[in-house]
Each structure stands twice: as structure tokens, then as C-alpha cells.
Chains A and B, each alone.
Chain A
């Protein structure tokens, strides 16, 4: 209870699903051999943390930000540029963290202060504009960021796949630097999610929910809503940058497509809404569903598309083409905002019934 900050999943099915996901992630290197499974698992860990931090904004304060990938990208690029420029040592990793995290927090502070000065409705639009400018900037400053190619780098000795920590003879399987990196990603992501759970269940988190429900009333109660919103913005940016650092460490690469593109922003939005806004647990569920679909549904769609084109059906092969999987997720997204706005988690907590006890906006 302590570790969950007194906010248990509150549903037997949900608890079971969460335990299953976490066990599967923890044991992936041993249960599912192969590089692809490990990649998918690492991506789920990183995105669970990233989406949870976005949930702090969207679900708990009710403000839509389109600049979340920018902070994620800042984290990724900070570590990539540091390791690329200073060589593969731990000093470079530390430099990347020390530069990346405060930079993300400062930028979040600036955006928060600026867009809260103007009408609150502008927040979503302004974050969208700033994020797109940042994306262009990152691809143009190629001397620093490597432009469209991004930056590939080497990890410190300990984290490399070639480093064998426990050889195959001892336990029957090999524990190498790659697996160590995976557990680093897993542990840090878990820590960040638990920290976010702590934040939303603190008095501060309660104020955020009060602001979401009725900003005017929260202000009338004497809370400085601007301070609370900006603070939440900075916290979310810090965690997003942290997730970006993990992502870059795992991929040994940072580039516009993997850490800055607008499609990642849409992915995050989809994950939060499908998982359930304002629950934190929804982030884990949403990230798992989405990334599994992204990696395994596509091949299924390829088969269906081929079958449709062999059957000579018009249009269907195009609609079922593996590259068009986002189309179906978009439809799923609209349907979930429509029919179950509280997402999977809200649905499970309400026992499957359509009670309107969930969050309302």
C-alpha cells in the first residue's frame, strides 16, 4: 500500500492484468528470447512512464499539451549528444542527465508562464506551435543534433551487449550488458511511475483535480492555480525527459523520428485515452495495448490486406495495408472518447457497467 501511495487499482481484474503485465515485463529476457521481444518490452516500459507523465497533465489538470514529445526529445538528444561528443563513459551519461533534465524543466516553466498569461484555451495551440518549431530547429541544427539522421552513439562498457556479466555456464542463460540496460530501463520507469502516483495522491495532486473540475472554485478556495498548473507542467516535463533519456540509452540513438515527431505525440494521446485518463495505471495498460498492437497487429493487417487484394476487393487492401494501422487506432480513439471516456481502467473500475462515476470533463 505504501509503495502505491494508498491508491490501489481498485478492481480485481485490473489488479490481475497489471500484475500480469509487470511480471511479463520483469521476466521478458528469460521468458521470451529474441531481440524483438526485448525491444517491445523496453518500449512498453519507456512509454508507460512517458504516458503516465502526460496523464498528470491531461488526466489530472485537464490541460491538453502538444509539446510533450519536445521534452521527451530533449532528454533523448541531451544524452545522445553528450555520449556522442564525450565518448562512451559514465561522465557523459551524467552530463546528459544534468543538462537535459533542467533544460526540459526550464522550457516547461517558460511555456507554462507564457501560455497561462494568455487565455487558457490557447494552451493546446501554443504548445503545438512551439513543439513544431522545436522539431524544425532540431532537424536544422545538424552540427549539434545530426539533422534528419540523428545521432548514434556507444554506451559505456558495462551496458554493451558484448559485456558478459554471468556466463551461460552458471545459470543456463547469459546475462549481458544488454539485459542489464533493460533492467535499468525497467527499474527507472517503474520508479518514475511510482513517483507520479505519489504526486497525484498528495495534497498537491488533489488541488490539480480541483482545478480540473472547476478552476474558478479552486481559485476561490485560495489556491494559486497558476502556480499549481506550472508546477505540474514542469514535473511532467521532467519525467518525460527522463523517459527520453531511457529511450536513447536503449536505442543507442536519438533522431527526429524516434523522439520528436508529431506522430509520437499522437501515440501518447491515444495511449492515455485508451488506457484511461486520470488514473496513472491507465498509462501502463494503454502503453501495453498500443505497443503490442503496433508491433504485432501490423503483421496481422498485412496478411488481411494480402487476402483482400487476392480476393480482388476494391479499396480494402489499401485500408488494411500495415502502414494504415493508425487509421484503425484513430477510429478506436474516437470511439473510446465517445463511448468510454474513462478508458480501460475506468471501465474495469466501474465493473463494466456504464455508470458515470468516472471523471467528467
Chain B
């Protein structure tokens, strides 16, 4: 035992960096397997962009669970609603989207994304009050209620917009790729990466540098204690839920532009994907969710390039492997 003097700083908690190294290791291992460095760079950029989009969609879900122990099976509905609402703006202004000017394109895209976030955030308010408030603390009923909500939301989308696929072509200035030597990186992917990074950094700053974030983190650790200190954790939770829903809406818009189409059943496929991400990351952990999203996207892109047949089950295999290593996900945050 070493003697500690009173003036010594407190011993820092050990940083767990193994999960951070994992995606880097995966990327490095892939270089010799893929062979051509330019292909590898393109694939890596693609995985980062896809991962960021998945992260934006999944972040709300993991926080909601971590903070309030609520399992929202209807999270995918916010994604679909966000995407559909964006078409309300994108369709009438199709002309200025086709104009070859970045600013004109962004002048339409930004309001579309903001409107989507506002609508899905407002929907989050309704869902929290109507579906989740009555069933706090009851997992079984939460799953049933939110699944019912997902059905209703999806069917309403069908009823309002009809069953056909709505095309959402990319704006002209975001088409094509940046060419660096023999590496081609699609412009839209760069934008997606930037937005994803901004969202990630913003969430991290709010969580780690503000009093609000302190309360949220404290609530994740021990809800009763925060309540005992006199904070209204329900209101805090409502705020987190709405933010998470709004982020899901933003993710929906980005995904719609990425796929260049909108369909009401998009929420089904994405729900499975974000569940896998959230489980891999450890329920309640933003950092884990970020790494999980990038890992899933990497497996999808590298796997799709190397062994296309395996792409179908690769996510499940990844989840099994990670859970065998760490049964509670990469970062186990909650004690639940």
C-alpha cells in the first residue's frame, strides 16, 4: 500500500478503453482482407456515415431506458414519422432542391429536418403522457403498450400517405462524391458524418458539462436518490424522452435521404437494427451506443463487401459475440 497524502488528487476511476479500441481494431484488420486501400477507405467512410445515422436514431432509446427503465418498442415510429413529415417540405420545394446551389438546397433541407424534429418531439410528448405514464415500472405492459403504439402509428401513416413508396431524391449539390486520388467518398456521407459527430459531441457536452446532464447521469445511476434530493425526475424524463424522439425524427430524415425513399414499414427494419445497437452498447450508455452503431455499420459494410451471403445474419453474430464477451453490453451503466 502506498501512503496517500491529503494533498494528493483523488485516484481517477480507471478508463475502460477496450470497447473504443474495438472498432479501430476491426477497421485495421480489414485492410489486408479487403486488399485495395482505396476500397477500404471508401467502405470505412460509408460505415462511419451509416453508423452516425444509426447512432442518432438509437441514442434516444438508450437514454430513455437508462434514465427511467422504460423499454420503448415504438421508437421506430418516431423515425418513420420524421421521414414522412420531411416529405411534406421536400415535395413542394422539389424545384429548389434540384437547383445546383448548396445554400438553396440547405435552405430547404434544414427547415424540413427541423419540422420533422418538432413533430416527432411533440409526438414523443403525447406518447409519453398517454402510453408510458400509466405503466411506469411494469416492463411487460410497457412492451405491450409501445408495440400497440407502433402498430397505430404505422397504420396511421399508411392511412394518411397511402401504401406506396415515396421517393426522396438527394439534392443536386449533395449528389456525387469527393474524389481524393483514387478514393471516392459520397458527399452526403460526409454531411451525415458531420451531423452525427455534432449530435454526439452535443450530447456528451450536455451530459458531462451541464447541471442538467449531471442530473440525468445521476438519475441513471440512482433514480430514487435524485428524487429524494428534491428534483422532479418525471419532468426531466419527459424532456429526455422528447429529445430522444426528436433525434429519432432527425435520424429518419437522414435515413430517408440516404435510401432516397420513404416507406411506412421502414420503422420495422430499423427497430431491429437500433435494438441490436442498444444491446451491444449496454442499455443506457451513450458512448456504448455510439461504438455499437459504428460496429454494426462496419459489419454491414465490410461484411457486405467480403461475404455478401453472411450480411443477413452478421448483426446477430456480432451481438452474440459481444454479449459473450460482456453479457451486459460494452458499457454496463445501470445496475438494473
Interface residues of A (CB under 8 A from B): 58, 62, 64, 114, 117-119, 121-122, 124-126, 128-130, 132-133, 136-137, 140, 262, 266, 269, 273, 315, 318-319, 321, 323-324, 326-327, 329-331, 333-334, 337-338, 341, 361
Which chain B residue lies CB-closest to A269? B147
In chain B, positions 97-139 with a C-beta closer than 8 Å to chain A are 131, 134-135, 138-139
Q: Is the CB of A334 within 8 A of B148?
A: yes
- Bitwise interface map of B from 309 to 325 toward A, beta carbon under 8 Å scored 1, else 0: 00011011001100100
4 shortest interchain CB distances as A-B pairs:
A327-B155, A330-B151, A334-B148, A330-B152
Partner pick for A133 among B159, B312, B327, CB 8 A cutoff? B312
Q: Is the CB of A125 within 8 A of B279?
A: yes
Please name all residues of chain B whose beta carbon is closer than 8 Å to the beta carbon of A338 when the two chains form the complex.
134, 145
| Besides A118-B323, A266-B147, 14 other A-B contacts (C-beta < 8 A) | A114-B320, A114-B323, A117-B323, A269-B144, A318-B162, A319-B156, A323-B158, A326-B151, A329-B151, A330-B151, A334-B152, A337-B135, A361-B138, A361-B140
Point out which of A119, A128, A266 has the most chain B C-beta atoms below 10 A from its C-beta.
A119
Please name all residues of chain A whose beta carbon is closer than 8 Å to the beta carbon of B159 when the two chains form the complex.
315, 318-319, 321, 324, 327
| A-contacting 9-mer, from B172-180, B226-234, B253-261, B268-276 | B268-276
| With A330-B148, A341-B141 as contacts: A121 and B313 at CB distance below 8 Å | no
Q: Is the CB of A337 within 8 A of B268?
A: no
The binding surface of chain B is classed by DSSP as: helix
| With A62-B140, A327-B155, A337-B144 as contacts: A117 and B327 at CB distance below 8 Å | yes
Please name all residues of chain A whose beta carbon is closer than 8 Å to the beta carbon of B152 when the two chains form the complex.
327, 330-331, 334
Q: Does B197 touch A at the CB level, under 8 Å?
A: no
Cβ contacts A to B, 30 pairs, < 8 Å: A58-B140, A64-B140, A64-B144, A114-B323, A118-B327, A122-B279, A122-B323, A125-B275, A125-B278, A126-B319, A133-B313, A137-B312, A137-B313, A262-B268, A266-B147, A269-B144, A273-B144, A319-B156, A323-B158, A323-B163, A326-B151, A327-B152, A330-B148, A330-B152, A333-B144, A333-B148, A337-B145, A361-B138, A361-B140, A361-B141
Q: Does B71 touch A at the CB level, under 8 Å?
A: yes
Q: Is the CB of A129 within 8 A of B327?
A: no
Q: Is the CB of B148 within 8 A of A130?
A: no
Partner pick for A129 among B73, B135, B283, B319, CB 8 A cutoff? B319
**In whole angstroms, how far apart are the Cα atoms of A124 and B275 in the complex?**
10
Q: Does B328 touch A at the CB level, under 8 Å?
A: yes
Interface residues of B (CB under 8 A from A): 71, 73, 131, 134-135, 138-141, 143-145, 147-149, 151-152, 155-156, 158-160, 162-163, 268-269, 271-272, 275-276, 278-279, 283, 312-313, 315-316, 319-320, 323, 327-328, 336
Question: In whole Å, how far is B16's beta carbon from the nearest beta carbon of chain A?
Answer: 18
Please name all residues of chain A whose beta carbon is closer than 8 Å to the beta carbon of B336 when the two chains form the complex.
119, 121
Question: In whole Å, how far is A117's beta carbon from the nearest beta carbon of chain B?
Answer: 6
Please name all residues of chain A whose beta carbon is closer than 8 Å to the beta carbon of B320 when the two chains form the complex.
114
Q: Is the CB of A121 within 8 A of B139?
A: yes
Question: In whole Å, how far is A174's beta carbon from the nearest beta carbon of chain B?
Answer: 41
Which chain B residue lies CB-closest to A118? B327
Q: Is the CB of B312 within 8 A of A129?
A: no
Which chain B residue lies CB-closest to A331? B152
Question: In whole Å, how far is A195's beta carbon from the nearest beta carbon of chain B?
Answer: 25
Which chain A residue lies CB-closest to B274? A125
Q: Is the CB of A337 within 8 A of B283?
A: no
Q: Is the CB of B155 within 8 A of A330?
A: yes
Question: In whole Å, how far is A119's beta carbon from the nearest beta carbon of chain B?
Answer: 6
Please name all residues of chain B whose beta carbon is closer than 8 Å to the beta carbon of A122 when the two chains form the complex.
279, 323
**In whole angstroms, how far apart are the Cα atoms of A114 and B320 in the complex?**
8
Q: Is the CB of B315 within 8 A of A133?
A: yes
Which chain B residue lies CB-closest to A338? B134
Please name all residues of chain A whose beta carbon is closer than 8 Å to the beta carbon of B155 when the two chains form the complex.
324, 326-327, 330
Q: Is the CB of A124 within 8 A of B151?
A: no
Which chain B residue lies CB-closest to A140? B312
Partner pick for B315 among A58, A129, A266, CB 8 A cutoff? A129
Please name all residues of chain B whose beta carbon is closer than 8 Å to the beta carbon of A273 when the two chains form the complex.
144
Q: Is the CB of B316 within 8 A of A130?
A: yes
Question: In whole Å, how far is A314's beta carbon from the nearest beta carbon of chain B?
Answer: 11
Please name all residues of chain B whose beta carbon is closer than 8 Å to the beta carbon of A140 when the two chains form the complex.
312
Question: In whole Å, how far is B291's beta carbon from the nearest beta carbon of chain A?
Answer: 18
Please name all residues of chain B whose beta carbon is closer than 8 Å to the beta carbon of A130 when the two chains form the complex.
316
| With A118-B323, A129-B315 as contacts: A334 and B272 at CB distance below 8 Å | no
**In whole angstroms, how far apart are the Cα atoms of A269 and B147 in the complex?**
9
Which chain A residue lies CB-closest to B276? A129
Please name all residues of chain A whose beta carbon is closer than 8 Å to the beta carbon of B312 when the two chains form the complex.
133, 136-137, 140
**In whole angstroms, how far apart are the Cα atoms of A92 and B319 in the complex?**
37
| With A324-B155, A330-B155 as contacts: A133 and B148 at CB distance below 8 Å | no
